[in-house]
């Protein structure tokens, strides 16, 4: 073993830390998008049920949910869910 190679693994580990943190933030942002999508779907389902009886027609209900911001520079993300309600 050469003496000059000591500490090489430590330097490589320090170089990988920002990449691992970035990957973690990206994964967390994806989780936030999925959670917002599920919330929008739940809201549109509730609104569709509350649309209630009315004249025979097809109505469209929608719900928009803001996505929580995890990554810097990512703002204004919104998810919209729509459902068509047909009443007899």
In 1-88, which ranges are E strands? 58-66, 78-86
What is the structure's pLDDT at 60? 86
What is the structure's pLDDT at 71? 82
What is the structure's pLDDT at 19? 92
What is the structure's pLDDT at 53? 67
Q: Token match 């009886």: residue? A: 53
Higher pLDDT, 2 or 45: 45
pTM assigned to the model: 0.72
Of 50, 69, 67, nearest to 59 by C-alpha is 50
């Amino acid at each position: 073993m050469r003496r000059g190679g000591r500490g090489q693994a430590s330097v490589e580990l320090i170089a990988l830390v920002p990449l691992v943190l970035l990957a973690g933030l990206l994964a967390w942002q994806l989780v936030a998008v999925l959670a917002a999508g599920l919330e929008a779907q739940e809201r549109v389902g509730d609104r569709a049920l509350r649309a209630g009886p009315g004249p025979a027609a097809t109505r469209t209900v929608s719900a928009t949910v803001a996505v929580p911001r995890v990554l810097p520079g990512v703002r204004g993300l919104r998810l919209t869910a729509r459902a068509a309600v047909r009443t007899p």
